């Protein structure tokens, strides 16, 4: 695996170096959050541009419970340039109570940053996530694509929360052949 790309993927930890577990103004985490329903495999449908994901397609996030009770995080994406998968593993813990979707996540040692689910479809099929500021945004789905209606709703909710959907990147979720 290309060391540079591995480091780039885990540069998400640089976001965390500041230890910022706060939240942006006027963004509230989902309440009545049920972690057991959130666990599992998610597809990245849209995001803001970040160096640690630049050039990656087929980006996914998988969440599971670790033996110590924290949430295991595996972020994975395919680098067409390097013709290989890149992966970053981390762990997350709740900032407040377990029914509030505000977690702190670390991909590097003791340094944590906010992971805030500010919208979650009632059936847990789609989620909008940010961090301690609006420089970070992700739209995750349980399926590799969203209907036009769900995409329009996600863009509208993101805009209402202060994000500019014209800045979103939509990574391909087309299956990688030969992998």
pLDDT at 67: 97
**Looking at beta carbons, which pairs linking 159-168 to residues 24 or more positions away fall under 8 Å?**
161/26, 161/27, 161/118, 161/119, 161/128, 161/130, 161/134, 162/24, 162/26, 162/27, 162/134, 163/48, 163/130, 163/134, 163/137, 165/46, 167/48, 167/49, 168/46, 168/47, 168/48, 168/137, 168/139
Number of domains comprising the chain = 1
- Asked whether residue 173 is assigned to any structural domain, the reply reads no
**DSSP, residue by residue, 65-97:** E-TTSSEEEEEEEEETTTTEEEEEEEEEEESS-
Please report which confidence band the pLDDT of residue 178 belongs to, taking 50, 70 and 90 as the band edges: low
Please report which confidence band the pLDDT of residue 177 belongs to, taking 50, 70 and 90 as the band edges: confident
Question: Which range (19-23, 29-33, 73-77, 87-91) has the least confidence?
Answer: 19-23
Domain membership of residue 9 as a residue range: 3-167
- Asked whether residue 176 is assigned to any structural domain, the reply reads no
- Asked whether residue 159 is assigned to any structural domain, the reply reads yes
Rounded to the nearest angstrom, the gap between the alpha carbon of residue 123 and the centroid of all alpha carbons in its chain is 18
- Asked whether residue 117 is assigned to any structural domain, the reply reads yes
Quick: pLDDT tens for 74-130: 999 999 999 999 999 999 999 999 999 999 999 988 889 999 999 999 999 999 999
- Asked whether residue 9 is assigned to any structural domain, the reply reads yes
pLDDT at 97: 96
Contact 114, 133 (CB under 8 A): no
| pLDDT cut 70: percent of the chain above it | 88
pLDDT at 14: 45
Quick: pLDDT tens for 146-170: 999 999 999 999 999 999 999 999 9
pLDDT at 145 over 90: yes
The neighbour count for residue 58, using CB atoms within 10 Å, is: 20
CATH number at residue 73: 2.40.128.20
Question: Which range (21-25, 82-86, 172-176) has the least confidence?
Answer: 21-25
pLDDT at 21: 74
| C-alpha–C-alpha distance, residues 40 and 13, integer Å | 22
| Tokens describing residue 24 | 């942006």
pLDDT at 150: 97
- Asked whether residue 175 is assigned to any structural domain, the reply reads no
């Amino acid at each position: 695996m290309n060391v540079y790309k591995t480091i780039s993927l885990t540069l998400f930890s640089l976001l965390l170096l500041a230890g910022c577990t706060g939240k942006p103004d006027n963004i509230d985490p989902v309440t009545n959050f049920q972690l057991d329903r959130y666990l599992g495999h998610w597809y990245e449908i849209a995001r803001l541009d970040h160096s640690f994901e630049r050039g990656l397609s087929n980006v996914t996030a998988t969440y599971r419970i670790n033996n110590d009770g924290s949430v295991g995080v595996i972020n994975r994406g395919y680098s067409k340039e390097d013709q290989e998968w890149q992966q970053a593993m981390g762990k997350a813990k709740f900032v407040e109570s377990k029914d509030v979707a505000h977690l702190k996540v670390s991909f590097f040692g003791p340094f944590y940053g906010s992971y805030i689910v500010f919208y979650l479809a009632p059936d847990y099929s789609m989620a909008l996530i940010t961090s301690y500021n609006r420089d970070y945004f992700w739209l995750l789905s349980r399926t590799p694509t969203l209907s036009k209606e769900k995409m329009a709703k996600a863009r509208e909710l993101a805009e209402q929360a202060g994000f500019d959907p014209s800045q979103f990147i939509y990574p391909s979720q087309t299956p990688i052949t030969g992998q």
